[in-house]
């Protein structure tokens, strides 16, 4: 029988194609603020070899024997402080970011979101998109600064999912946007508006980025350099604005974990030092986070406040991430539209 005379079997499922998918991806979150959910999340997150570069034969006994038996209880308390009726703030905000740009690229473009760790998973969303007929998918990691432990691990997971597919979609990835004018402009406008609305004028602004072990820099990861460039370019813009007149800018790194040396200076140490040396009014911005999460809402806003006030500070505020602000949504739309060029 030649191919011209072959016929599809009677039970062949209908096939859809011709659509484009856009998938916003953020780090992840447990399904609930309880130790069991946090344990499942941490097991997946801390088993990623991009995240923890210690050989598994050494790391897994530590993870399973110590960390997963102690840390979930502490982390669950932190998540419980920021959990809302809509669930995890990170997942909720990322979902709203996706919803905010639905329909802006034409009726053949489907927009959704996924978490790298936890739910909804990348695998679930890609399966849903291809099932609906998306034969081209744009993956948008919501990490302005490239890091192997964030951006690269999204690529790893997408490759793993596609490795099991017979009919694979064409793929594109939104590149890091740490120095993109739309990102910097959105940050500057949003932070300016928030500072204007404060009841005090800050003396110092910390630009706090998520920390990484120092060895990532030594091995050639550009993350530290990307963060430093973002901070420098943002500082140059803000320093020209009246609401930041006389403000001193500092770049710090938060969320240290384990005994290894991490990128410095650390946010918590800097908050204490600023309070002790007489700084009374301080604000914190988190330009490396596309959406507020436990690291901003609990670690910076609650723990950070206590550290600064106890050290002698008086006025303290953590500014919102871009989230679903008008500036933030416009930035997401602009970045996605640029990478869809030629597809739409």
Domain residue ranges of the chain, discontinuous segments joined by +? 19-177+327-339, 181-318
Q: Provide the 10 A C-beta neighbour count for residue 97.
A: 24
pLDDT of residue 5: 56
Q: For residue 216, what are its two tokens?
A: 């990532």
Look at strands 134-141 and 109-118 and give their pairing. Answer: unpaired
> What's domain 19-177+327-339's architecture?
3-Layer(aba) Sandwich (3.40)
Give the single-character DSSP code of 244.
G
Residues in the chain predicted with pLDDT less than 70, given as ranges, are: 1-9, 12
Q: Are 173 and 139 in contact (CB under 8 A)?
A: yes
- Bond before 187 cis per omega within 30 degrees: no
Q: Are 118 and 31 in contact (CB under 8 A)?
A: yes
Q: For residue 239, what are its two tokens?
A: 């320093």
pLDDT of residue 259: 77
Q: For residue 248, what are its two tokens?
A: 């001193």
Q: Domain 181-318: state its class.
A: alpha beta
pLDDT of residue 8: 63
Helices (H) and strands (E) in the chain, counts: 13, 8
pLDDT of residue 4: 57
Supply the pTM of this predicted model.
0.94
Q: Are 101 and 344 in contact (CB under 8 A)?
A: no
Whether the domain at 19-177+327-339 and the domain at 181-318 fall into the same CATH topology: yes
Beta-carbon contacts of 181 under 8 Å, excluding residues fewer than 6 positions away, are none
pLDDT of residue 17: 84
pLDDT of residue 190: 97
């Amino acid at each position: 029988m030649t191919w011209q005379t072959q016929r599809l079997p009677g039970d062949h499922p209908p096939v859809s194609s011709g659509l484009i998918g856009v998938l916003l991806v953020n780090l992840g979150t447990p399904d609930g603020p309880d130790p069991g959910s946090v344990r499942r999340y941490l097991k997946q997150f801390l088993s990623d070899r991009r995240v923890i570069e210690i050989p598994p034969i050494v790391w897994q006994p530590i993870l399973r024997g110590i960390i997963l038996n102690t840390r979930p209880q502490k982390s669950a308390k932190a998540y419980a402080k920021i959990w809302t009726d809509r669930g995890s703030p990170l997942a909720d905000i990322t979902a709203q970011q996706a919803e905010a740009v639905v329909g802006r690229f034409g009726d053949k473009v489907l927009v959704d979101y996924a978490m790298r760790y936890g739910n909804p998973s990348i695998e679930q969303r890609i399966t849903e998109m291809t099932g609906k007929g998306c034969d081209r998918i744009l993956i948008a990691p919501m990490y302005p600064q490239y890091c192997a432990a964030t951006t690269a691990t999204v690529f790893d997971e997408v490759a793993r999912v596609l490795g099991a597919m017979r009919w694979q979609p064409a793929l594109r990835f939104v590149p890091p946007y740490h120095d993109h004018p739309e990102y910097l402009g959105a940050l500057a406008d949003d932070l300016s508006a928030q500072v204007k609305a404060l009841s005090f004028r800050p003396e110092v602004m910390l630009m706090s980025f998520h920390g990484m072990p120092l060895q990532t820099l030594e091995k050639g990861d550009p993350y530290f350099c990307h963060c430093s460039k973002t901070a420098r370019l943002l500082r140059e813009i803000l320093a020209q604005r009246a609401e930041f007149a006389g403000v001193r800018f500092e770049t710090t790194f938060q969320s240290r974990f384990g005994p290894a040396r991490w990128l410095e200076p650390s946010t918590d140490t800097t908050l204490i030092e600023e309070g002790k040396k007489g700084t009374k009014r301080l604000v914190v911005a988190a330009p490396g986070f596309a959406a507020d999460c436990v690291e901003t809402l609990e670690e910076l806003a609650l723990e950070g406040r206590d550290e600064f006030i106890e050290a002698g500070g008086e006025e303290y505020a953590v500014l919102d991430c871009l989230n679903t602000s008008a500036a933030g949504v416009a930035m997401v739309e602009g970045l996605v539209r640029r990478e869809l060029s030629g597809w739409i």
